[in-house]
Structure 1
């Protein structure tokens, strides 16, 4: 799988059940908006992502104005929970394409589905 960076890529989670309703919405987070990245490690076009990387805003659940059923948040943060333990970037485990995590605070499970770059593989 390809290493994740701030050079692009998407995290996707479904269903993000929000109120009023409950109504399921898709939840998408763009890796270009990530914070707490490994700024000293550039892979492809952007800094590498680690387990500490957080995307502060996720989109797609905007019509659910009362927030998620579990988190009560709308457009909450996205982060990965399953790292690639064989590679440390600035003393934190790297993350890669296919890594799973949580989105919209804790309202939906998500996966990195689009690659950030296609040169560096973490096998």
Structure 2
């Protein structure tokens, strides 16, 4: 049982975000209230529901690696989820839930949702 993900709060976390020069691993976080392409017509708790199309445009934590990620060559790249919850469609797109894995800093690090934005709606 996992909570539905919303823009009401929460964090996406990925480690290690290996950046240059180095390579040096950094923790990478993305703040879900900054998300775009959310299901604006579906409000869960305090924020709009997230779908598979939702993107957080900026992830942070790898700023000291001035030459960018080893794979993506970017700093502060976007974060998005890759694992949908196919039993629930929100505005014709699959919902995502807490613990869904995805990519952060474009494609440089695998991440997951670690903090819920709401605690009332469970996706079983």
Same fold (TM over 0.5): yes
Deviation at 1:81, TM superposition (A): 0.1
Question: Which residue in 1 is equivalent to 2:21?
Answer: 20
Deviations 1:13-63 (A, max 9, x none): 000000010000000001000000000000000000000000000000010
TM-score where L is the length of structure 2: 0.98
Q: Normalization by structure 1: what TM-score? A: 0.99
3-state SS of the aligned residue for 2:80?
strand
Question: Where do 1:1-123 residues align within 5 Å?
Answer: 2-123=3-124
Q: CA offset at residue 71 of structure 1? A: 0.2
SS of residue in 2 equivalent to 1:32: helix
> 1:110, CA displacement in angstroms?
0.2
3-state secondary structure, aligned to 2:21: coil
Please report the RMSD computed on the Cα atoms of aligned residues, expressed in angstroms.
Answer: 0.3
Name the SS for the 1:116 alignment partner. coil
Gaps of 5+ in 1: none
* Structure 1 SS opposite 2:114: strand
CA-CA distance at 1:4 after TM superposition: 0.3
Displaced runs of 4+ in structure 1, greater than 2 A? none
Whole-Å separation in 1 of the counterparts to 2:38 and 2:83 = 16
| 1:94 CA drift (Å) | 0.1
Partners of 2:11 and 2:100 in 1: CA distance? 11
- Count of matched residue pairs: 122
